[in-house]
């Protein structure tokens, strides 16, 4: 089983929100939103494959910044797909939506709004990390 298939298998069988796999190394989380990715920013994840519950533009920019090569998303936003296309991250998904909805269900995800006009992944990572550290 390749890394991408293993990431998806572990994700779907373990109740995780996010799983990353490379050469037998498995990183998993049950945290919501982009919190697990923010926590991994200082780890070398180049070449990892990931499976994630929801991938908006913010998460996509973090995955691209970290060098993740493949991402499976149960739900992905159109802006996230555009980021993956721009940065040559291979991806698969079950559902594509115009944007990721906030937790209240009454508007756009605040993280997706935060990076809406940002095109540089390093800038996005810094802005998102600062926001998470201050509290979402």
Q: What is the pLDDT of residues 56-112, one digit of tens each?
A: 999 999 999 999 999 999 999 999 999 999 999 999 999 999 999 988 989 899 999
As beta bridge partners, residue 72 has 51, 92
pTM: 0.95
Task: Tell the residue number behind the tokens 């973090």, with chain if given.
Answer: 62
Name 127's Cβ contacts closer than 8 Å, sequence gap at least 6: 114, 115, 118
Write down the pLDDT at residue 24.
87
Residue 16 has pLDDT above 90, yes or no: yes
- Residues 27, 93: contact at Cβ < 8 Å? no
Q: Band of the pLDDT at 136, cuts 50, 70, 90? A: low
- Give CATH for domain 3-134: 3.40.140.30
Beta strand 70-77 pairing with 90-97: parallel
Per-residue model confidence as pLDDT tens digits over 23-34 = 989 999 999 889
Per-residue model confidence as pLDDT tens digits over 114-126 = 999 999 999 999 9
Nearest to 20 by CA among 4, 32, 44: 4
Three-point CA angle 13, 93, 32, nearest 5°: 60
Q: Band of the pLDDT at 134, cuts 50, 70, 90? A: confident
Name 120's Cβ contacts closer than 8 Å, sequence gap at least 6: none
Domain boundaries, given as residue ranges, for the chain: 3-134
């Amino acid at each position: 089983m390749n890394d991408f298939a293993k990431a998806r298998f572990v994700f779907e069988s373990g109740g995780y929100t996010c799983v990353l796999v490379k050469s037998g190394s498995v990183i998993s989380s049950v945290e919501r939103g982009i919190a697990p990715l923010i926590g991994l920013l200082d780890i070398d994840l180049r070449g990892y494959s990931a499976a994630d519950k929801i991938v908006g533009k913010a998460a996509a920019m973090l995955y691209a910044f970290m060098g993740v090569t493949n991402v499976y998303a149960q739900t992905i936003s159109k802006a996230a797909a555009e980021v993956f296309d721009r940065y040559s991250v291979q991806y698969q998904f079950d559902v594509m939506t115009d944007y990721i909805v906030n937790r209240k269900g009454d508007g756009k995800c605040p993280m997706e709004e935060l990076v809406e006009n940002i095109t540089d992944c390093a800038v996005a990572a810094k802005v998102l990390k600062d926001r998470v550290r201050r509290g979402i």
